[in-house]
Amino acid sequence: MSLTGSLSNALSGMNVTQRGLEILARNVSNAGTPGYHSQSQTLIERSGDVSSSVRSAGISRAFDESLQRHYGNQISSSGYAQVRADFLVQLESFLGKPGDASSLDTMYANFESAIQSMATSPDDFSTRAAALTSAGALADRLNALSVNIQNLRRDTESQMQSLVSGLNGDLSNLRAVNSRLTEFSYDDGARSALLDERDRLVASIAEVIDVNATYRDNGSVRLLTRSGVGILDNQQSVFSFTNGGVLSANSLYSSVSSENGVGSLSLRTSAGLPLDLVGQGILQSGRLGALIELRDDSLVQAQSQLDDIAASLAQALSNVDVASSPATSGAQSGFDIDLGSLQPGNSFVLNYTEGGNPNTVRVVRVDDASLLPMDNVGPDGVRTIGLDFSGGIAAVAASLNATLGGAINVSNPAGSVLRVLDDGVAATSDIDGLNASFTASNLQDGNLALPLFVDTANSAFSNSLDGIGQKTGFAGRISINSAIEQDNSLLVKFDVNSPMGDASRANHIWNALSDTQFQGEVTSTKSMGRNQLSGNVSALVSQMLSFQGASIEKTQSVQATQGLSMEALSNRMDEKYGVDVDKEMALLMELQTAYAANARVMSTVQELLNTLMRI
């Protein structure tokens, strides 16, 4: 071994020590930088003929692919939970806590109490005014909640819009990073910085949509959604979102673009193929997934529960029962009923026994041909049939007669009267009951029922199913009949001559509120699978609040869980990727010593060389 060999060995030692210091300085300075992965130098021994020097094998960056993948998934789930929690907490604050003055249950209870006071003092103007005020406050509250919910839906859209533009930006940045990573002209330090940037971008994308990242050897990354749609490879897909503008309860998602009432979120793949992200259910998690779920499901359900409450309020007060009268023809017996007052959405119920089995059929007036034929059996066993009444009762009778089979005879003896008879001598069927109800539209026709809560422009709410259905968004439109607002004695005087002290109408309202039972109707497949409210009005209110409370609670607990997992994962990443300053300092001392030692070797070699030269 020669002196020059020693010299070059010492030189190489000083070299890598300098490199090491450089990396150390980078690590220490970036100790607090988010997304910075600690770097380290790999040293290898180079043994030559005369020397055995050290050389740097490059900088290695702390990275664990499986941890990274796990992190990507967790970020999506956390983002999903976070967005849901953010929105539902807002909904919660709108709903208020039961017992609060502005909570729906308190307002309803106030309304009921006011009606009860009115039943005791129907002649007192201020008591009636108080009843009307509390009814108005209830309607206003429903309106306000509707608006709040629809505003939340609109917020989801504006968030989607900004998320989509951020997403596209991230994707194109990531594509640029990908292409730069494939070039090998960068030195290791710059490359590490690029990889940090890559991981930051992937995390940022994963937060918005659920993606699977595949890392190639050259460091570039390929992104797929969890459902398998390619988002970024060599080419990038482009997300686009068109805002639905002001959303109302009627604005619902539909895969048919002409019927779609909300903003559309689509993806143009690198192959140029357009994909409807909502309809295909491509997004399962991430912030966007949560926003879509909120806009098209959670918030829509909250609205429909409010609509149920509004509809039950209106109907409980305005439903007028029509009694049937017994009818016979030869050996056949059954009932006659006058269906003249039935409006679209009103219905009559037929109970009959056939072959020993009791059956209940509800026939709803549906004049919208696009909804027909309608024939569903609900979970409670009630068969709901929709029929068009606009062609007269004869057509209804003929159609029902054909539907119900030979043992039940339905006819139209005269006018708007419907007659249902059993099969007489054969005695395989019996008609057990026939009842109808219609929506009162007059305030003083002698009926105790009254249209206190009405739809827009004072029109009666009959829960018509025609079109998109009168119930859709009714909570946003429900208001107090302006005729009653002008003259609150109409709350008492069900007839022009009825005395002011007559509490019949107030009692009717009170009884109707407590006794009228509502059942989620199965009128179309759309309404299946939703959480159905049932019971009297107060039960609906209580169920709605309980349901929403439970779902908010669940969302919050999911968010807390996700937060904890995220935290655990962060700790793990901190251990793996983070910069431990103590370790770096120890290394610094080591490097310092190594440098000094190498320098000492060099100076010794130099002295030796000098000594040699002087000889």
Partner 1 sequence: MIVNKSMFSTSSSYYNIERMRQTFDDLQVQLATGKKAQTLSDMGGTRSTSIDLRHQLSRIDSFQENITMVGTRLDLIDLVVQRVDTIESEVRSFAAADSAGENQVNLTTAQGYARSHMDELINLLNTKFAERHMFAGNRTEQPPVKGMDVLLNGEGGRDGFRTVVSERKAADAGASGLGRLELSRAANVVTIDEDGTHPFGYKLSGASTDSLGVTAGTIGGGPPSLDITFNSPPNVGEKVFVSLTLPDGSSKTLEFSATLSATPSAGEFQVGATNDDTAANFEAALQNKLLGETSTTLNAASVFAAADNFFNGNGETIQRVDGPPFNSATALQAATPTDTVVWYEGSSSGDPRKSVAARIADKASVGYGVEGNEKGFLELMRSLASVAVETFSLGDTTAEARYDALTDRQMDRLAESNNNRPGSVEVIAMELGVVRNTMGSYKDLNNGYATQVETVISGLEDASLEEVAIRIQTLQVRLQASYQTMSIVSQLSLVNYMR
- Sign, Cα dihedral of 91, 93, 97, 99: negative
Residues 40, 90, 102, 113: which binds partner 1 (CB under 8 A)?
113
Smallest separation, CB 305 to partner 1 (Å): 14
Binders in 498-527 for partner 1, by CB under 8 A: 499-503, 507, 510
Per the listing, tokens 């002649």 go with 123
- The answer to whether the beta carbons of residues 447 and 455 sit under 8 Å apart is no
In angstroms, rounded to a whole number, what is the distance separating the alpha carbons of residues 421 and 435? Answer: 14
Is residue 427 a contact point for partner 1 (CB under 8 A)?
A: no
Token digits of residue 525: 């497949």
Interatomic CA distance for residues 510 and 523, integer angstroms: 28
**Of 478, 545, 591, 602, which one interacts with partner 1 (CB under 8 A)?**
545
Long-range CB pairs of 453-456, under 8 A, 24+ apart, other chains included? 453/135, 453/139, 453/310, 453/313, 453/314, 453/317, 453/318, 453/478, 453/479, 453/480, 453/481, 454/314, 454/478, 454/479, 454/480, 454/481, 455/314, 455/479
Does 90 contact partner 1 by CB under 8 A? no
Nearer to partner 1, 105 or 388 (CB): 105
Identify which range of 17-25, 228-236, 441-449, 539-547 contacts partner 1 by CB under 8 A: 539-547
Q: How far apart are CA 59 and CA 406, in angstroms?
A: 88
Taking the complex as a whole, the smallest distance from the CB of residue 38 to partner 1 amounts, in Å, to 10
Judge whether 520 and 533 are in contact, CB under 8 Å: yes
* Footprint (CB under 8 A) of partner 1, residues 163-202: 200
Q: Which of 2, 158, 570, 593 binds partner 1 (CB under 8 A)?
A: 570
User: What tokens were used for 220?
Assistant: 């570039």
| Closest CB to partner 1 among residues 421, 541 | 541
Distance, CA of 58 to CA of 19 (rounded, Å): 10
Closest contact distance (angstroms) between CB of 115 and partner 1 is 9
Q: How many residues does the chain have?
A: 615
Determine the Cα–Cα distance for residues 431 and 335; give it in Å rounded to an integer: 8
Q: Is residue 25 involved in binding partner 1 (CB under 8 A)?
A: no
Is residue 75 part of the contact set for partner 1 (CB under 8 A)? yes
Nearest distance from residue 53's CB to partner 1, in Å?
Answer: 29
* Binding flag, residue 95, partner 1 (CB under 8 A): yes
120/182 with CB nearer partner 1: 120
Q: Is 600 in the site for partner 1 (CB under 8 A)?
A: no
From the list 571, 593, 606, 610, which residue makes contact with partner 1 (rule: CB under 8 A)?
A: 571
Among 2, 18, 65, 97, binds partner 1 (CB under 8 A): 97
Segment lying near partner 1 (by CB under 8 A), choices 106-114, 177-185, 241-249, 313-321: 106-114
Binding status of residue 534 toward partner 1 by CB under 8 A: no
Contact flag: residue 158 with partner 1 (CB under 8 A): no
Distance (Å, rounded) from C-alpha 115 to C-alpha 508? 10
User: Whole-number minimum distance, CB 172 to partner 1, in Å?
Assistant: 17
Strands 453-454 and 479-480 turn out to be: antiparallel
Enumerate residues 6+ apart whose C-beta is below 8 A from 425: 331
Q: What count of Cα atoms within 13 Å lies in the side-chain half-sphere of residue 323?
A: 2
549 binds partner 1 (CB under 8 A): yes
Strand partners, 333: 328
465 to 62, 461, 506: CA distances (angstroms): 62, 11, 29
Interface residue with partner 1 among 4, 42, 52, 120 (CB under 8 A) is 120
Q: Count residues near partner 1 (CB under 8 A).
A: 69
Nearest Cα to 452, choosing from 576, 358, 582, 315?
A: 315
Nearer to partner 1, 54 or 209 (CB): 209
Q: Which residue in this structure is represented by tokens 């060995």? A: 9
Q: Using CB under 8 A, which of the segments 14-22, 179-187, 363-371, 563-571 binds partner 1? A: 563-571
Residues forming the site for partner 1 (CB under 8 A): 32-36, 75, 78-79, 82, 92-93, 95-99, 105-106, 108-110, 112-113, 116-117, 119-125, 200, 203-204, 207, 499-503, 507, 510, 538, 541-543, 545-546, 548-550, 552-553, 556, 566-567, 570-571, 573-574, 577-578, 581-582, 585-586, 588-589
